[in-house]
Chain A
Amino acid sequence: MTLEVDVRIPRADIEAAFEVADDDTAAILGPNGAGKSSILGAITGTVAATGQVLLHGQNLLGLPPHRRRVGLLGQRALLFPHLSVLDNVAFGPRSAGHSRRRARAIAGEWLERLEASHWADRRPDQLSGGQQQRVAMARALAAEPDVMLLDEPFAAIDAEAIDGLRTLVRRHVNTTCIIVTHDLPDALTLADRVIVLDEGRIVEEGRTTEVLTRPRSRFAARIAGVNLVTGTLADMTLTCAGTTVTGRPVEDGPGSHGVAVFPPRAVAVYPTRPHGSPRNTWPVEVCTVRSDGPGVFVTANHPDLGEVTAEVTSSAAAELDLQVGTHLWFAVKAQEVDLLPRARQHRAQRRPRPSAI
C-alpha cells in the first residue's frame, strides 16, 4: 500500500512530505536531531502532528494508534518482560481477536520463520540484545502491519549480530516500510529510495544508488560519497556488464542483484597496468579532477563499470599528469570492497503475505 506522508510537527519545527510506493522501502537519513524519529512518531501516533498520513485513502492521523496497523521496531526491543517469548509474539494476534491457542500458533510460525523457535519458552531477560531484537521483529510482523517502521533497529546491536538481522529484515519485511538509519549498508541493502532530512526539512530525495553515489546534501555526502557498482552477485564477486569485481561478501545472497561498495581512498591510481597486483584492476579514462582539502578526487570512466572515483594525495596527483581524457589504471584490493545484496532483490523473491496461514 502506498503511504503518502505530508506532516507538520510545529513543536519540533518539522515539515516533511514524501511518498513511499506500494511495498517499497524508504530510508530516512539525517544527522541527530534532524527529526527522523519524530516523523515516525507522527505516523505511529505518539507525536502530535498536523497534515495527513494517507494509507489506502485513509488519513491515519485521525485514528488512534492501535487502529493504524503501523508496526514499529525501534532501537530497543522493548519485549514485555512479564511474558514468555511466545506470548510476546502472540500479543498482536491476540489483540486482533484471535483465541489464545490460535494466537500462539501464529506466533509459533513467526518464530520459526525468524529462526527463533528454540527461545519460545524463555523470558526476554534470558536473551541477548540481538536475540531480543529478533523476537521483537517476529512480534511486530505477527501483528501483520500494513506499514512497517524501523527506527535505527540495529543501533544497539553487537556488530556480529547485525548482518543476520539485516538479512531477516530483507527477507521478511515485505510491506511498505520506512527505515531510519545512520548506516550506509542499511540503506543500500534495504532501501529502494533515500530521503535525507536536515533540521526538519527534506533536503534530498531519490533512488538509493543515485543519492549515495552523487550526494548533493552535506549529510549524504558525509556518510556516502562512495563508489557503487551494481550487478549480479556470486560468491566473492559481482559481475557488471563483462567486468567482474572481487570483494568480500558482507551478507549471503549470491545469484542476485547486488552492489559493490568501496571508498575512493581504497582506489590506487597507476599510469600503466600494475603488475602482480590487486584483484581488481581496471583501465579508465579521466573525466573530472577535483581537489578537496588535502585530497584530490579523480573521477574516471570505465566502459562497463561507469564512473569510479579515486582519492589521491596532491603530490601523487602532480606526478600523474591528471588531465581530462588521460588513460590510467585503477586498482582496488578485494578486502576493501564490500559486496551487498540490493534491496530490489527481495522484491523478485517475495513470498506470499503470511496473512493466510
Chain B
Amino acid sequence: MTRQPTAPSATPAWIWLPAGFGALLLVVPLVATVVDVPWADLPELLTSDASRQALSLSLRTALGSTALCIALGTPMGWVLARTHLPAQRLIRTVVLLPMVLPPVVSGMALLAAFGRNSLLGGALEGFGIRIGFTTVAVVLAQMFVSLPFMVLGVEGALRTQGVDHERTAATLGAGPGRVLTRVTLPLIAPALRSASVLCFARALGEFGATITFAGSFPGITRTLPLEVYLVRESDMDAAIALSLLLLVVAGVIVAATHAQPRRPV
C-alpha cells in the first residue's frame, strides 16, 4: 500500500484539544440518547396512541407551515432583494428578529396579537374564529419562527444569482411573470429547497412558542416535542423513544442538505 503524500500541516497541535472538547459536548448527549433507547420496547412505544397522534400532528403542521413559508417567504425575499423599500434595513431586522428571539417570547408576542383578549384575536372572535389554542395556532407559531429562514435563504440566493439571466430573458421577449417562473425560480431552486428543509426542521422542533401560544391539547396542539416533554415525567422510556424519532428525522435532514463532502483548504 502506498501512502498518499501530505503537505506539511499549518494546524497548530494544541488546536485539537478545544476542538475535541467541543465535539464531545455535541456527540456525547446524542450517543447517550441512543444508548438509553429501550430497543426491545421501541415498536410498542412508538405506536402508542399518544405517540402516533403527536407524530401525525407534528408532520401535518410542519408540512403545512413549510408550504405557507414557501408561499409567503419567497415573495418577501424577492421584495428585500429586488425592490427599494424605504427603511429597508429596519424592515429586514424586524423580519429576521424571530430567528434570534427566545421562542417563549415569540409565543407571548403571538398571544398578544391573536390571543382572546387581544385586538386582532378579539375581532376574529367576533366572527366566530378562534385561533389561540387550536391547530391553526400551532401552524402560526411554527411559521413565526421558521419564516425568517425562508426569507433569508431566498434573498441571499437572489442576490448571489444577480439579474443578468433575467435581463437576458427579457431581451428574448419574456414578460416579468414568465421570467419569474421560467428563469428566476429554477435558478434559485437549490436555495429554495435547502431553505424549505430548514423551515421544516425548525417547525418540527418548535416547542416554546407552541406551548405558550397554542397550549398542549392532545391531538390538537400537542406536537411531538411537547409530547416528549410531557411523558418525560411519567415514562422516561417513551420520552427517549420519541427523542430518537426526532433525532433520526433531524439526521436525515442534515444529511440531505449539508452532506456534500468538503475538502480542507
Contacts and interface: CB of A to CB of B under 8 A. Distances in A.
B165 A95 contact: no
Interface residues of A, number: 26
16 contacts: A46-B167, A66-B170, A66-B173, A66-B175, A67-B173, A68-B171, A69-B173, A74-B168, A76-B164, A78-B164, A80-B183, A82-B189, A92-B172, A92-B173, A95-B173, A95-B178
Interface in B211-245: none
B174 to A, nearest CB: 4
A10 to B, nearest CB: 18
B169 interface: yes
B171 A82 contact: no
A72 B187 contact: no
A242 interface: no
B170 A81 contact: no
Given A80-B165, A95-B178, A65 B171 contact: yes
Interface string A17-46: 000000000000000000000000000111
A70 interface: yes
Given A76-B164, A78-B168, A82-B186, A96 B173 contact: yes
Nearest to B173: A95
A95 B172 contact: yes
A143 B172 contact: yes
A64 B173 contact: no
B65 to A, nearest CB: 28
A140 interface: yes
Nearest to B167: A46
Interface in A286-330: none
Interface string A331-356: 00000000000000000000000000
Interface string B156-172: 00000000110111111
B167 A91 contact: no
Contacts of B169: 80, 91, 95
B171 A140 contact: yes
Interface of B: 164-165, 167-176, 178-179, 182-183, 186-187, 189
A134 interface: no
A148 to B, nearest CB: 10
Contacts of A45: 170
A44 B167 contact: yes
Contacts of A65: 167, 170-171
A247 interface: no
A74 to B, nearest CB: 8
A170 interface: no
Nearest to B170: A65
Contacts of B172: 66, 71, 91-92, 95, 139-140, 143
A71 B171 contact: yes
- Pairs of residues from A and B, 6 with the lowest C-beta to C-beta distance, nearest first: A95-B173, A65-B170, A92-B172, A95-B174, A82-B186, A72-B171
Contacts of A69: 173
A140 B187 CA distance: 20
Interface string A223-245: 00000000000000000000000
B174 A91 contact: yes
A143 B171 contact: yes
A257 B31 CA distance: 81
Contacts of B186: 80, 82
A257 to B, nearest CB: 31
Nearest to B187: A82
Given A71-B171, A80-B183, A96-B173, 19 more contacts: A44-B170, A46-B167, A65-B167, A65-B170, A65-B171, A66-B173, A66-B174, A68-B171, A76-B164, A78-B164, A78-B165, A80-B165, A80-B169, A80-B186, A82-B189, A95-B169, A95-B173, A95-B175, A140-B171
A108 B187 CA distance: 24
Interface in A124-173: 139-140, 143, 145
Contacts of B182: 91
The residue among A67, A72, A95, A143 with the most chain B CB atoms within 10 A of its own CB is A95
A71 B186 CA distance: 23
B171 A44 contact: yes
Nearest to B169: A91
Interface in A74-104: 74, 76, 78, 80-82, 91-92, 95-96
A140 to B, nearest CB: 7
Contacts of A64: 170, 175-176
B82 to A, nearest CB: 13
A76 B169 CA distance: 14
A210 B46 CA distance: 87
Contacts of B189: 82
Contacts of B178: 95
Interface in A53-73: 64-72
Contacts of A81: 187
A95 B165 CA distance: 15
